[in-house]
Structures are given as structure tokens and as C-alpha cells.
Amino acid sequence: MRAVQITSLTGPDSALELVDLPEPEPSHMMSPGEGVVVEVRAAGVSFPELLQTRGEYQMKPDLPFVPGSEVAGVVREVAGEASVAPGDRVAAFCMLGAWAEVAVAPTWMTFSLPAALDFAQGAGLILNYHTAYFACRTRGRLAEGETVLVHGAAGGVGTAALQVAKGLGARTIGVVSTGEKEQVAREAGADEVLRSDGPWKDQAKELSGGGVDVVVDPVGGDRFTDSIRSLREGGRVVVVGFTGGSIPEVRVNRLLLNNVEVVGAGWGAFVLSKPEAFRAIGDEVSRLAEAGFIRPIVGARFPLDRGAEALHVLDERRATGKIVLEL
């Protein structure tokens, strides 16, 4: 099969090589002897792959390896007990190995692809939408009727968080950096969109009648203190990522003074050792997709041999929605 490997840790341009490899067996490192083999139609592109080309991601497999954590495609073979069968359209989280014509995922990380979603959308379903559900609902305790502010609202996690929040019955405010991204955030379901270089904290307080209930933050950096200030009493800032570059520090007196919380949301760290939790979030995401709330926005598509270009789009802050490789 054709696959892309990371062969050195020299950044996206020189680290990736298109190679011929044997197809994987129906056995995954997370579930030896069991797995779902998928004919890949689309593979997701995310920050971990970019960081892996530089050796900067926490998971550091031996070189060379095939990157890519999620796929959508058609089941070819199943070993073990699974909710899917050969011929089914699926979305699957394989952790590594997605950037290939054939990939293998654990049975419990493989889900039927909702009929309304195409393969490219399916390749954007698990990482971003499971994280969005985990951040909004599990960790942020977002409830019907509450208001959520989403940073990086035109990005992969951001668009997912907007759609999940609408599905949970929340009012949504997106924060973005450009006019083009404002359009994307609106398409994803933002009721209001604010600019990150404007007075978004005061605007959010005004729009929400005194403060938002939840902030979902995949960006971090300088704006973190204003995120805390934008909360109403009892509000929660949910820490999801640091695309803005720096990891913020919190003066905890701010939490005491206004009775607010800062909550971490590390989806992978939580679910990868808990198949039941993984499935439960997946079932909720499927339910929201069936109900029409979840429709992943595919911002750019590349063929398998142009993975480096796909990573540059992420690196240069040009990405909207999900970037996929189509096979």
C-alpha cells in the first residue's frame, strides 16, 4: 500500500516520504490480536502530526513511522468484538498510521459513520468532536440555556465546539482573528462572532448579560486572563490547547474573587485508557450528528503525497475547520 512516513525530525518539508509498505494486520498496539482494518478514503490532519515532524509531540514513536490519528473509510476486516462489520462506512481513531491506503484501529475506537456525513467529514469527526464534547459537557458542564465563548472558533476544535454547544442547547459566541474566519464561525453555528484584536471581553460580557458561563480555549496565550474576567459567577474556563504559543499562568486570587473555575480538558489522556468513556462520548457525538447538529467543516483537502502542504496550512494559521488528506 502507499503510505506517508515521517523519516526524520526536520519539519514538514523534509521529514515526510511517500513509501510502499505492507498492509497492516487486524491487530492494534492498544488491543493486540484485535482491530478493525479500514480502507482509508480520508485521513485527518492535525497539530500532533505537525509537531511530530519536528519531534516536539509527547508521543515519540521510533523512526520511521506512519503518522495520522484518524480516518474515515470502509471496513475490510474485523478481529474481535466490534459494532461494525466488513463493508460498513466508519470513522476510526487509529492514533498512528492514518496517512496510508489501509489503516487499523482498535474495535472500540471505531464508529459507524452517520449517513449524512461524507468520508472527508468523517475524518474530522473523532479528534475534534470528541474533544469538543469532552470540553463543553464533561469538563465544562455546559448546560442548556447557558452561554459559551469559543476561542479559535474557525479552527478544527473551535468549529466542533460551536456545533456541539448548539446541540447541547447553548448560546454561542466565537472569537476569531479575521473576516474570513468570522464567516466560518458563523457557518459553524456561532450566534455572535467577536474579533480577537478587539474588546471581545467587554463585548462578551455585554452580549451575555454580565458574563459567559463557559469559555472553551484551544488558544491560550495572552488572552487567558481576559477569558477568566469574561466569566459570570460560577463560570468555567476550559483549557484545551495552546496554539497561541505560550502556556498561560493563572493568578488564583482571580478565581477566589469571582468564584470561577479553570478546568483542564485532556481528551486523549482521559479516554485512551477507558474504552467505555470513549464509546459513551462517541455515542453522544453520533446522536448529535444524527440530529443534524454536527456537520464537520472541511476547510482544505490534499492528496496523500501533499501532506507537507497540509501541515503548512496549520502551521501558518491559515486553517479553517478540518484539513484532510483524501485517498
Ligand X SMILES: NC(=O)c1ccc[n+]([C@@H]2O[C@H](COP(=O)([O-])OP(=O)(O)OC[C@H]3O[C@@H](n4cnc5c(N)ncnc54)[C@H](OP(=O)(O)O)[C@@H]3O)[C@@H](O)[C@H]2O)c1
Helix (H/G/I), strand (E/B), else coil: 183: helix
Distance CA 73, CA 120 (A): 9
Nearest to 15 by CA among 6, 24, 2, 26: 6
DSSP 8-state symbol, 60: -
Q: CB nearer to ligand X: give 168 or 219.
A: 219
Q: CB of 242: closest distance to ligand X in angstroms?
A: 6
DSSP 8-state symbol, 36: E
Q: CB nearer to ligand X: give 75 or 297.
A: 297
Residue 320's φ and ψ, nearest 5 degrees, are: -125, 145
Distance CA 26, CA 182 (A): 43
Q: CB of 245: closest distance to ligand X in angstroms?
A: 5
Distance CA 275, CA 278 (A): 5
Q: CB of 299: closest distance to ligand X in angstroms?
A: 8
Q: CB nearer to ligand X: give 105 or 281.
A: 281
Beta bridge partners of 100: 3
Q: Are 123 and 100 in contact (CB under 8 A)?
A: no
Q: CB of 315: closest distance to ligand X in angstroms?
A: 7
Q: CB nearer to ligand X: give 102 or 157.
A: 157
Q: CB of 51: closest distance to ligand X in angstroms?
A: 8
Residue 299's φ and ψ, nearest 5 degrees, are: -85, -25
Q: CB nearer to ligand X: give 73 or 321.
A: 321
Helix (H/G/I), strand (E/B), else coil: 120: helix
Residue 146's φ and ψ, nearest 5 degrees, are: -80, 170
Q: CB of 23: closest distance to ligand X in angstroms?
A: 28
Q: CB nearer to ligand X: give 117 or 190.
A: 190
Which residue ranges make up the site for ligand X (CB under 6 A)?
Answer: 46-47, 127, 131, 152, 154-158, 176-177, 181, 196, 218-219, 240-245, 265-268, 314, 317, 319
Nearest residue to ligand X, by Cβ distance, number only: 155
Q: CB nearer to ligand X: give 41 or 130.
A: 130
Q: CB of 194: closest distance to ligand X in angstroms?
A: 10
3-state helix, strand, coil in the chain (%, to 5): 35, 30, 40
